[in-house]
Homo-oligomer: A and B are copies of this chain.
Amino acid sequence: MSSYAETLAENVEEQAESEDSAPETREKPEDSSDSVDELTLVEAICDGLYTEMSQDERVMALGEDIGRNGGVFRATDALYEEFGEHRVVDTPLAESGIIGASIGLGLSGMRPVAEIQFMGFLYPGFDQLVSQASRIRSRSHSQLSAPIVVRMPYGGGIRAPEHHSESKEAFFVHEPGLKVVTPSTPYDAKGLLTAAIRDPDPVIFLEPKLIYRAFREEVPQESYEIELGEASIRREGSDVSVFTWGAMTRPSLIAAEELAEDGIDCEVVDLRSLSPLDIDTIVDSFEKTGRGVVVHEAPKTGGLGAEIAATIQEEAMLHQEAPVKRIGGYDAHIPLHALEDYYLPQAVRIQDGIHDVMEF
């Protein structure tokens, strides 16, 4: 087994475990100043919601099975008990209704955080999100806005059934008026979610479910924001820049460590914010290394990798020592789990791709 596969295996076991057994209700300590918890990414999301709901009465959560059930991934665990059925609301099974309702709630002065159970089930609500929420500001000449957050687990690798492994962030990035973020660590998860909730515009908060429980990290109990629109350099390097986000950050880092042994020094940039993109960080990194790859789960054609490659050649062509290589999902539907590890970028593919770029 490759080290990535091992990492995955751990995740998935944890995942399966936590899904099959009754969830524990996490206790909130009374005094939360200056304290930190060791949290998984999904716990950090839950904590981010908790913290923000505690501080701002306008914040509410709504979606399918997020109440008593705490969400199918337990991302809203114990919030129902804490904040009651009017602030943590199980809705009917209707995604357009959930997002349309959220827009209206936002207009009334609330700060709704909607959960879509899986990205593959967002599409019935696509119109309300992409064609409605995105435009409330522009069509009203900024008199109105849609201060909503739409959270959804996305991505593959967890042996899920059909339609449960979507990674179509590119759809949302192409629509003006939407912001799109995705964390790759528990710390970022809480900070980005806090910023998303406070943002006056609609923010799509993509949750890399493959790493929901992959590892723990210290997360402050108090609230903090990570500014939307800022990438994070996860590993500095001088030979080649790896641009990635969400669950692909880890295999990218694994690949970088393996390549270090071959003397290739990778810089790994976790974009975090997919819309707006942090073009400065992307271009600066590329200008430093002169070589780049983009790693994402979505189909290659029309994926966000295209935007990044196009931007780099626009802004930094004269620094280009090799084509920017896109290591993505293939232009096919993500297969069921017997084959999904062939579909998703594995550390081995990432390494191989980086070698290509180095040897160009």
Interface residues of A (CB under 8 A from B): 96, 120, 123-124, 126-127, 130-131, 134-135, 138-139, 162-163, 168, 170-171, 173-177, 275, 277, 298-299, 301-307, 309-311, 313-315, 317, 320, 322-326, 331-333
Q: Verify A304–B302 contact, CB threshold 8 A.
A: yes
Do A314 and B309 contact each other (CB < 8 Å), given the known contacts A174-B302, A299-B176? yes
Q: Verify A303–B127 contact, CB threshold 8 A.
A: no
In the complex, what distance in Å separates the CA atom of A42 from the CA atom of B303? 32
Q: Verify A302–B131 contact, CB threshold 8 A.
A: no
Q: Verify B126–A123 contact, CB threshold 8 A.
A: yes
Of chain B, the residue at the smallest CB distance from A304 is B302
**Inside 8 A of A168's CB, which chain B residues have their CB?**
174-175
**Inside 8 A of A124's CB, which chain B residues have their CB?**
96, 127
Question: Which residue, of A126, A135, A168, has the highest number of chain B Cβ atoms within 10 A?
Answer: A126
Known: A171-B171, A306-B309. 7 other contacts (CB 8 A): A120-B131, A123-B131, A170-B170, A302-B304, A302-B307, A306-B311, A313-B320
**Inside 8 A of A302's CB, which chain B residues have their CB?**
170, 173-174, 304, 306-307
Residue among B174, B177, B299, B305 making CB contact with A303, cutoff 8 Å: B174
Q: Verify A324–B314 contact, CB threshold 8 A.
A: yes
Q: Verify B326–A314 contact, CB threshold 8 A.
A: yes
7 A-B pairs, CB-CB below 8 angstroms?
A: A123-B126, A131-B163, A138-B332, A302-B304, A302-B307, A306-B309, A309-B309
**Inside 8 A of A301's CB, which chain B residues have their CB?**
173-174, 275, 277, 307
**Inside 8 A of A138's CB, which chain B residues have their CB?**
332-333
Q: Verify A174–B170 contact, CB threshold 8 A.
A: yes
**Inside 8 A of A171's CB, which chain B residues have their CB?**
171, 174
**Inside 8 A of A322's CB, which chain B residues have their CB?**
317
Q: Verify A325–B314 contact, CB threshold 8 A.
A: yes
Q: Verify A310–B306 contact, CB threshold 8 A.
A: yes
4 shortest interchain CB distances as A-B pairs: A174-B302, A123-B127, A309-B310, A306-B306
**Inside 8 A of A315's CB, which chain B residues have their CB?**
323
Q: Verify B177–A333 contact, CB threshold 8 A.
A: yes
**Inside 8 A of A313's CB, which chain B residues have their CB?**
309-310, 313, 317, 320, 323-324
Q: Verify A317–B314 contact, CB threshold 8 A.
A: no
Residue among B126, B163, B275, B306 making CB contact with A126, cutoff 8 Å: B126
Question: Which residue, of A130, A135, A162, A306, has the highest number of chain B Cβ atoms within 10 A?
Answer: A306
Of chain B, the residue at the smallest CB distance from A123 is B127
Cβ distance A331 to chain B, nearest Cβ, rounded Å: 5
**Inside 8 A of A331's CB, which chain B residues have their CB?**
176
Q: Verify A174–B310 contact, CB threshold 8 A.
A: no
Question: Which residue, of A120, A176, A305, has the highest number of chain B Cβ atoms within 10 A?
Answer: A176
Residue among B175, B304, B305, B317 making CB contact with A323, cutoff 8 Å: B317
Cβ distance A248 to chain B, nearest Cβ, rounded Å: 17
